[in-house]
Structure 1
C-alpha cells in the first residue's frame, strides 16, 4: 500500500470516528496540590464549556516528608494527604459554563512511605529527608521564634473550602475563567483558609496534529489569610499549566504536563516560601460514551516545594456533547 493511500486511510479513520475529536479526551488533567499548607489555595479548573451536564468523582493521595529549620522558623511536614471530591459542571449554550466542587480532606500516617522510597530509588530520584526519619509517622508543625503556630500529631479529617467557577469560551482556542472559594473548610485543622480566595485564569488549547493537542493556562489569585497569623501568606500568587495530550485511539490518550505557582507564604522554608513546579504523567480512558477515567502520577520538580509523589484518579460522567 502506498504512503498516499495510508495517509488517506488514516484521515478517513479520524473523520469517521468522532470520539477521536472529542475535547473531553484531550482535556488537561485536573490535579490539585496536596499538602495542608498548599491545598487552602487551590487552582482554577479547566473544563469544556458545552451545553451539557458533567459530574466528576475524584480521589487524590499525596505523600510528603520534610523537616526543615532556617533562621527563626522550623517545620515538620511528614504525612499522607487524602482528598475526595465531587464536582458538578453545567454548560450553557456554546460559550458559558459554571462549576461547583465540594471536597473532604484528610491527613494521616504515611502508609505509602516504603513505596515512595522504592519509586525514588528505581528512577534515581532524591529521597530528601526520608532516609533520616522513621516511616509511617504523622507530624504537622510550624513554629516562628519558638512560638508554635501548628502542632498536629494525629490524623485529621474535615470538609474543605468549596470551589465555584464561571468560564467563558472566547473562541475555539481561548477561554477565560473566574473563580472563588467559599470558606466551608475547618481552618483550625488546616483544612481551609481564613477567608475567600479569588482568581482569574486564561486558558489556551490547540491541536498540533490529528492526534495531538497542547494546552496552556496562566492565572492570578488573591490569597485569603492563612489559619495562623504566625505564618504570613502573600497577598497574591500566580499559576501556570503547560502540557499536551496524544490520542492513542478513540478511547485513550496519554498526557504530560507541568504545573507551577509562585510562593504562597513569606518564609525562608522551601515548602512555604519557594516557587513550586510539578510534573504530571498520566492519561484518560473512555469507558463509554458517557464515562471517562483519568489516572495520573505527580512528581515534584522543585524539590520540597510540593508533595514528593501524588496519585490521582477522576471518574467523569457527562450527559452528552454537541
Structure 2
C-alpha cells in the first residue's frame, strides 16, 4: 500500500512542471470521483465528467487519487445478516481523453486499487470528536485493521482480510457533444467497464458494465467577482452478473450528480456537489448493501496554467454507511 503512493505524487509533480510556463486560468467542472465503498468502487459507476469534450486532435490526461477510510458495521437479527467494512482503500486512476473528431471524444481509464489497514484511524476519530460527529463504533474497533466481511443466513458470503494492490477493471469511454453554445454545454457520454481486476481481492467486480448518461453545465459571469457555474449529470448503468455477492447483485443502477462552483479569481475555484446512486445489491436490510447512496463532496480547483489544474476534495456520506464516511480526492489534469 505504501509503495503505490509514490506513483501519483511523482506524476503530479511532472505534470505541474510541464504546465507551469503559462498564465493561470481555471474552469469549474465536476469532481472526477465516485463512491469509494469497497463493494461499490468495483463496478463501472462513472464520474459525471466535463460537459465540454476534448477538441478535435487534442488530448487530456487526468491522474486521480482517491483515499477512503471505511468503517461500517450493521447487524439485523431478524434477517440473520451482518456486515463489517473496516479498512482503508486507495484508487489511482489514469484517465486519457482524446478528441477523435469534431464533437466526438474517446477515452480510456486504467485504475490501480489497493486495500489495507492504513494508518489514519486515530486522525479520523479525532476529526469526528472535534466536530462532534458520531463515531459509529470506530473507537471500539481495533485500530488500522483490514476486514471486509458479510454473513447471511449463517453463511459467510464475503471475507477480505489480506492487504493487496493491483490493476482494477479497465474502462473504455466515448462522448458526443450535444451542444456547446457560449456558456452552456451538454454531452452524451457512455462507458464500458471490462472485468480485468481480481474480484477476490475487490479490485474488480467480475461483471461487464455499460453506462450511459448526459452531463451538462451553465457558466455565468459576475460583474466583479469572477464567475459561477452550475453542473449536473444523470444516467443509468446495466451490468452482467459479477462474482461479488452474485446472488444479490442488481443488474440495473441509476445515478446522478448536481453541483455548483464559484471562481473569484483566475487561479482558484471553490465547488461542492451531491452525487447519488441506487443500490448495487438487493435482498438485504442493511444500508451498506440495500440503500441508495448520497455523498457530499466539497473542495475546489487550483489552476497552474490554462492547461494544467488540480482538484482537491473531501467527501462525506450523507446516507450513512452507503459510502465511506471520509474520503480524500486529488486529481491533476493536463491538456495537450
TM-score (norm 1): 0.88
Q: Is the 8 A contact 1:50 1:93 kept in 2?
A: no
Could you say what secondary structure the match of 1:128 adopts? coil
The count of corresponding residues between Structure 1 and Structure 2 is 299
Q: Does 1:33 align with 2:35?
A: yes
Could you say what secondary structure the match of 1:287 adopts? strand
- CA shift digits 1:97-131 (9 cap, x unpaired): 11100011111004111111222222222211213
- How far apart, CA to CA, are the structure 1 residues paired with 2:140 and 2:37? 21
Could you say what secondary structure the match of 1:131 adopts? helix
Structure with the greater alpha carbon radius of gyration? 1
Could you say what secondary structure the match of 1:36 adopts? coil
Could you say what secondary structure the match of 2:35 adopts? coil
Q: How does 1:40-55 map to 2 (within 5 A)?
A: 40-45=42-47, 46-47=49-50, 48-51=52-55, 52-55=58-61
Corresponding position of 1:66: 72
- How far apart, CA to CA, are the structure 2 residues paired with 1:304 and 1:312? 19
Higher RCO by CA contacts (8 Å cutoff, separation 6 or greater)? 2
Corresponding position of 2:105: 97
Q: Does 1:268 align with 2:288?
A: no
- CA shift digits 1:31-56 (9 cap, x unpaired): 12212201122322413313220111
Corresponding position of 2:325: 308
Of residues 268, 275, 279, the one that matches 1:259 is: 275
- How far apart, CA to CA, are the structure 1 residues paired with 2:54 and 2:144? 45
Corresponding position of 1:318: 335
Q: How does 1:1-322 map to 2 (within 5 A)?
A: 25-45=27-47, 46-47=49-50, 48-51=52-55, 52-70=58-76, 71-172=79-180, 173-210=185-222, 211-229=227-245, 232-266=248-282, 267-319=284-336
Shift of 1:225: 2.4
- How far apart, CA to CA, are the structure 2 residues paired with 1:303 and 1:226? 25
- CA shift digits 1:265-296 (9 cap, x unpaired): 01211111111000001111111233111111
Of residues 273-282 and 130-139 in structure 1, the stretch that sits farther from structure 2 once superposed is 130-139
Could you say what secondary structure the match of 1:171 adopts? strand
- How far apart, CA to CA, are the structure 2 residues paired with 1:221 and 1:142? 25
Gaps of 5+ in 1: 1-17
TM-score (norm 2): 0.85
Runs of 4+ with deviation above 6 angstroms: none
